[in-house]
Amino acid sequence: MAVVHKAPPQMPMAVARAAIVFCVAVAPPVVFQLLLALGAPWGALTMGGINPGQLPPAMRLNAVLSALILCGTALVVCVRAGLVLPGRQDAVRRSIWAVVLFCVLEVVLHVLTPSYWERVLWLPCVSIMLVASSYVAMGTMRRAVNGGHEAQAESAGPGYVQVH
């Protein structure tokens, strides 16, 4: 006879912590982009420093879009980790990997930027974002793989997993 254990009701705490770390790391770039959009004279600290001072109007719109994209990545990470929109983790099963890929691209771009200050300010943020999003993606992937056993245990009742 198989031993039956109660399955955890949510993602492991380490995955949730990684999602929180991602949110902490994404907050400074989001605030920075919004301040650029509002006219902060920090153009030298973004996009390779090609627009020192205040960004022109078209680039301010780009800053708003950047902030929205960054917020979207945080939302995907938090949903996948089960911190928001409970029960919707499967809806972002593939999207979490798009976030990881986005973070890889961001790291590469910030390594290659000619702007020293952009590297100093933003490379640590995007590097942390990459590690945290990768951890959430892989942590939830392991749960999905292990979750296959849950279907076999349905006969034992809801929320139970058979251990062989």
Backbone CA torsion sign across 60, 63, 65, 71? negative
Burial class of residue 128, CB neighbours in 10 A (0-12, 13-18, 19+): middle
pLDDT at residue 4 tops 90: no
For the entire predicted model, the pTM comes to: 0.79
pLDDT tens digits, one per residue of 138-155: 987 765 555 544 433 333
Of residues 86 and 19, the one with the higher pLDDT is 19
Nearest to 164 by CA among 29, 44, 5: 5
pLDDT at residue 164 tops 60: no
pLDDT at residue 48 tops 80: yes
Give the residue-averaged pLDDT of 100-119.
95
